[in-house]
Amino acid sequence: MNKRIAVLLSGRGSNFAAIAAAVNAGLIPASIAVVVSNRAGAPGLDHARALGIETLVLPSPGITRADYDSALAAELQARSVDLVCLAGFMRLLSPSFVRPFAGRILNIHPSLLPAFPGLDAQKQAFEYGVRITGCTVHFVDEGLDSGPIVLQAAVPVLDTDTVESLSARILEAEHRAYPQAIALVLSGNYSIEGRRVLRPKQ
Ligand code: GAR
């Protein structure tokens, strides 16, 4: 049966666009069932609408985190979503969401975790002075940027870099890594041992 993905975003949506392109190219054997945002004005929603994908806005002010996350889980369950992809979704998810979708939520983060979790990861890495940073696709658990790692891509930091130029190269790496990680997870061709996500031996 065709797998169904939900993409959650809060802003620009360039990772969503990369996922949608990979779906269209047949690199991800799935369809995008819905794109959800907590922000009505998120540019990523316009792109989803242009592609004819259902969009859903769930604003959060005035709602407790637990109620918000339960409502979000219910919306995705109603659409028989198999895999949830966080793509710049700038909200922490509580157990009310993470439990019903345990092992079925991915996130992309713009650093080589566990270095530089949280906000402005590219700036954190730049200011720390690391020579190599990158991006990480990981399963989401109840912590902050803390679940088992599916895939990482390294990006060197150049002497000539600014936070902006470094962020742009990390973003290119994100656009390659996220579709690859989604395809792997949807294939089911992996096992998790402790924190390690392992591919079967060829
Ligand atoms: C991406 O760089 C993503 O890694 C980051 O937000 C950006 C969203 O861009 N996510 C986080 O920092 C999560 N902690 P996009 O809207 O163009 O995909």
CA angle 106, 130, 152 (to 5 degrees): 25
Residues 96 and 5 in one domain: yes
CA of 107 to the centre of ligand 1 (A): 9
> With a 6 A CB cut-off, is 93 part of the ligand 1 pocket?
no
Q: Whole-structure pTM over 0.85, yes or no?
A: yes
Average pLDDT, the chain: 97
> With a 6 A CB cut-off, is 171 part of the ligand 1 pocket?
yes
Residues 95 and 188 in one domain: no
Q: Which domain holds residue 69?
A: 1-101
- CATH code for the domain in which residue 24 is found: 3.40.50.170
Residues 11 and 89 in one domain: yes
Q: What is the pLDDT of residues 36-82, one digit of tens each?
A: 999 999 999 999 999 999 999 999 999 999 999 999 999 999 999 99
Is there a cis peptide before residue 110, judged by omega within 30 degrees of 0? no
Q: What is the pLDDT of residues 79-126, one digit of tens each?
A: 999 999 999 999 999 999 999 999 999 999 999 999 999 999 999 999
Among residues 69, 101, 133, the one where a domain terminates is 101
> Distance (Å, rounded) from C-alpha 120 to C-alpha 35?
23
Residues 126 and 189 in one domain: yes
